[in-house]
Amino acid sequence: MLSKKTKYGLKALSYLARQEGNTPVQVGEIASNENIPQKFLESILLTLRKSGCLGSKKGKHGGYYLIKKPSDIIMADVMRVLEGPIALVPCVSLNFYEKCDDCPDEISCSVHKLMIQVRDSTLNVFRNTTLADVSKTSKDMDLIK
Amino acid sequence: MLSKKTKYGLKALSYLARQEGNTPVQVGEIASNENIPQKFLESILLTLRKSGCLGSKKGKHGGYYLIKKPSDIIMADVMRVLEGPIALVPCVSLNFYEKCDDCPDEISCSVHKLMIQVRDSTLNVFRNTTLADVSKTSKDMDLIK
DNA sequence: ATTATTCCTATCGATTTAATAGGAAATACA
DNA sequence: TGTATTTCCTATTAAATCGATAGGAATAAT
């Protein structure tokens, strides 16, 4: 299951991607528009900024803004920052690998093989989706038709 | 992330699938061979039995056994019993649907659309994999070559 | 009877999650 | 210069979940 943190983070990024210019948007505005507790969102945007997904400006008229084009922001990267490993078990994680306590032999572990398949299929989605895809509203989709 | 419960449950099912006959196998045997805490495994096998994935026999010489051919046991079903929803958010779950508190409009929610894609790709794996596939050891794989 | 096993309920400690609190640091602007 | 505004940072909390254990009832074989 996705944590609220991840869900809120994605919605906030999507909100920023839907902005016209690149002027900073305040946490309060995002929070109220997306129904996210403001203080919680504050901490989430902070981690996104620290990981290089966002820029920020302090003080009056400050806020957060994207530092890359939405079409250059890969969801796999965002997901790893917000949610951590994409794999369902650490022993098949590409970026957060850990050996299992209970498995003497990884190669012959039945769970292992299955989880590699799941990881790859999930990764296939996240690697081929950008924030630009995610942030398209249904109104945008109508216009495309 | 996969819970230990699910991981242990999968390993236990796989162990049973690798048995020759269909005579009951005791929890203790599975637990020691798969490095699973026995009491914990007891409760896991109980839920698998209650959900119809396993049969059991009480008393001396009792134990657990598969009631279907491994090739008829679909991983999607097993995963739902052990782990619950396959979807990453309840609002895209086929079997455990729940509305989000924070989304006024599901259709236009950006997270929603992404999560449907992930669900479908994961489901594609779990629906097309049976316990027979999972329980194949690397030794089996060698023999096939 | 005795022994071995599943079945059931309850509980526990540790961890994680979601959220809040309070204030420091920085910035805009009057 | 000073005040309002906003991000930044640390700490804390309440609730939920997870992993595991405890103890014994019910059942079956010998």
Q: Which domains does chain A show, CATH number per domain? A: 4-66 (1.10.10.10), 73-139 (no CATH)
**How many angstroms separate the CA atoms of A33 and A9, rounded?**
13
The pTM is what?
0.93
The pLDDT of residue A108: 85
**Cβ atoms within 10 A of the Cβ of A59, count?**
6
Q: Which of B36, B108, B125 sits opposite A102 (nearest CB)?
A: B36
Structure tokens at B75: 């991983």
Distance of residue B133 Cα from the nearest chain A Cα, in angstroms: 9
- Is the Cβ atom of A112 within 7 Å of strand C at any atom? no
| C-alpha closest to that of A49 among A16, A18, A20, A95 | A16
> Which residue's alpha carbon is at the shortest distance from the C1' of D10?
A43
pLDDT in tens, B107-116: 889 899 999 9
Distance of residue B8 Cα from the nearest chain A Cα, in angstroms: 9
| C-alpha closest to that of A34 among B66, B92, B104, B54 | B104
Distance of residue A108 Cα from the nearest chain B Cα, in angstroms: 5
Q: Which residues pair with A130 in a beta bridge?
A: A74
Q: Quick one: average pLDDT of B58-72?
A: 97
The pLDDT of residue B104: 87
Q: Quick one: average pLDDT of B88-97?
A: 96
Res B142 pLDDT > 80: no
Structure tokens at B44: 């896991």
Least confident of A103-107, A119-123, B94-98, B110-114: A103-107
Q: Which of A18, A35, A111 to mutate to test the interface with B (most CBs of B within 10 A)?
A: A111
pLDDT in tens, A26-51: 999 999 999 999 999 999 999 999 99
Using a CB-CB cut-off of 8 Å, the residues of chain B touching A1 are 85, 88-90
CA A51 to chain centre: 11
The pLDDT confidence band at residue B21, using thresholds 50, 70 and 90, is confident
Q: Does A114 touch chain B (CB under 8 A)?
A: yes
Res A98 pLDDT > 80: yes
The pLDDT of residue A138: 61
Res A104 pLDDT > 60: yes
- Is the Cβ atom of A55 within 7 Å of strand C at any atom? no
AA identity, residue A105: D
Four-residue CA torsion sign, B29, B30, B35, B38: negative
Q: Do A135 and B110 touch (CB under 8 A)?
A: yes
Res B141 pLDDT > 80: no
Res B143 pLDDT > 70: no
Res B61 pLDDT > 70: yes
Q: Which of B110, B125, B137 to mutate to test the interface with A (most CBs of A within 10 A)?
A: B110
Q: Does B74 touch chain A (CB under 8 A)?
A: no
**How many angstroms separate the CA atoms of A120 and A125, rounded?**
9
**3-state secondary structure (DSSP) of residue A73:** coil
**How many angstroms separate the CA atoms of A16 and A14, rounded?**
5
**Cβ atoms within 10 A of the Cβ of A117, count?**
18
**How many angstroms separate the CA atoms of B95 and B92, rounded?**
9
Q: Quick one: average pLDDT of B59-77?
A: 97
The pLDDT confidence band at residue A82, using thresholds 50, 70 and 90, is very high
| C-alpha closest to that of B45 among B15, B76, B90 | B15
The pLDDT of residue B122: 98
**3-state secondary structure (DSSP) of residue A113:** helix
